[in-house]
């Protein structure tokens, strides 16, 4: 019985410590004039502590907005609040960039309202933009542990009637357990079952 309780506690501990993958779907108007009929992009974030992997994927921006619409910036809110400049600046290194843009950088804040900590700037110049049906992935390594609490995407290239540009926040956040976490949990359940059977035989 003691072994059973110990294994159960270990399983619960492993499951609580597991990293999570969150998928965000952008489409809620935060600042601007135009609201699309459905979500226009998804953001997958995996990792924990100070290292995270991002993948931003666009839907048909041309149909949902207008021809030539693109996402130029992704602003992020963190806990605790951080700054990339100043006396207590946090260092942010971007690596493993692949996909729809060949340049991705980080800058301090840059959102439509206060409260945003920093932003990812996607692409550079007219020929290097994240447009319709594209995807870009990158890794962000911070000099301290951070947790992300909110995001906003800046859609640019809109028509004059649509306001020229607008900011949007996610409408849905879907946490998905990491594969290795599921594997550890399944292993723990197997050990619990085996232990219970042995206890019954005794």
Judged against a pLDDT cut of 90, whether residue 118 lies above it is answered with: yes
Backbone angles phi, psi at 94, to 5 degrees: -110, 130
Q: What is the pLDDT of residue 184?
A: 45
Check if the beta carbon of residue 127 is closer than 8 Å to that of residue 89. Answer: no
Q: Report percent pLDDT > 70 for the chain.
A: 75
The two tokens of residue 149 are 């609490």
Q: What is the pLDDT of residue 183?
A: 46
Q: What is the pLDDT of residue 5?
A: 43
Banded model confidence at residue 66, pLDDT cuts 50, 70, 90: very high
**CATH fold label, 21-201:** Immunoglobulin-like (2.60.40)
Judged against a pLDDT cut of 90, whether residue 165 lies above it is answered with: yes
Looking at per-residue pLDDT, the higher value among 185 and 175 belongs to 175
pLDDT tens, 44-58? 999 999 999 999 999
Stretch 165-175: mean pLDDT, rounded? 82
Judged against a pLDDT cut of 60, whether residue 197 lies above it is answered with: no
Looking at per-residue pLDDT, the higher value among 133 and 198 belongs to 133
Q: What is the pLDDT of residue 193?
A: 44
Q: Ramachandran region of residue 158, left (φ > 0), alpha (ψ -120 to 50) or beta?
A: beta
Q: What is the pLDDT of residue 174?
A: 57
| CA 65 to mean position of chain CA atoms | 23
Judged against a pLDDT cut of 60, whether residue 149 lies above it is answered with: yes
167-185 burial, b at 16+ Cβ within 10 Å, e below that, comes to bbbbeeeeeeeeeebeebb
Q: Edge-to-edge strand order for the sheet containing 20-31?
A: 92-99, 135-142, 51-58, 41-48, 20-31, 165-177, 147-156, 70-79, 118-122, 104-108
Judged against a pLDDT cut of 70, whether residue 90 lies above it is answered with: yes
Check if the beta carbon of residue 56 is closer than 8 Å to that of residue 136. Answer: yes
Whole-number average pLDDT of the chain: 83
Looking at per-residue pLDDT, the higher value among 158 and 10 belongs to 158
Which of 179, 131, 173 minimizes the C-alpha distance to 151?
Answer: 173
Question: Angle at Cα 72 formed by Cα 71 and Cα 77, nearest 5°?
Answer: 95
Q: What is the pLDDT of residue 188?
A: 46
Per domain, the residue ranges of the chain are 21-201
């Amino acid at each position: 019985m003691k072994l059973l309780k110990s294994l159960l506690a270990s399983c619960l501990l492993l499951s609580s410590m597991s990293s999570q993958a969150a998928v965000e779907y952008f489409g809620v108007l935060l600042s601007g004039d135009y609201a699309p009929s459905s979500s226009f992009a998804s953001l997958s974030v995996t990792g924990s502590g100070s290292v995270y992997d991002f993948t931003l994927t666009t839907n048909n921006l041309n149909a949902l907005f207008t021809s030539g619409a693109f996402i130029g910036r992704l602003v992020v809110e963190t806990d605790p609040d951080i700054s990339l400049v100043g006396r207590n600046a946090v260092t942010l290194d971007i690596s493993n960039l692949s996909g729809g843009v060949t340049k991705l950088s980080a800058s301090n804040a840059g959102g439509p309202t206060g409260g945003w900590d920093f932003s990812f700037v996607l692409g550079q110049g007219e020929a290097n933009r994240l447009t319709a049906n594209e995807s870009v992935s990158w890794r962000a390594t911070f000099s301290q542990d951070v947790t992300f609490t909110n995001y906003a995407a800046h859609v640019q290239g809109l028509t004059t009637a649509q306001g020229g540009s607008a900011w949007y926040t996610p409408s849905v956040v879907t946490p998905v357990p990491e594969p290795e976490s599921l594997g550890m949990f399944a292993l723990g359940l197997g050990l619990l079952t085996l232990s219970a059977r042995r206890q019954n035989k005794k």
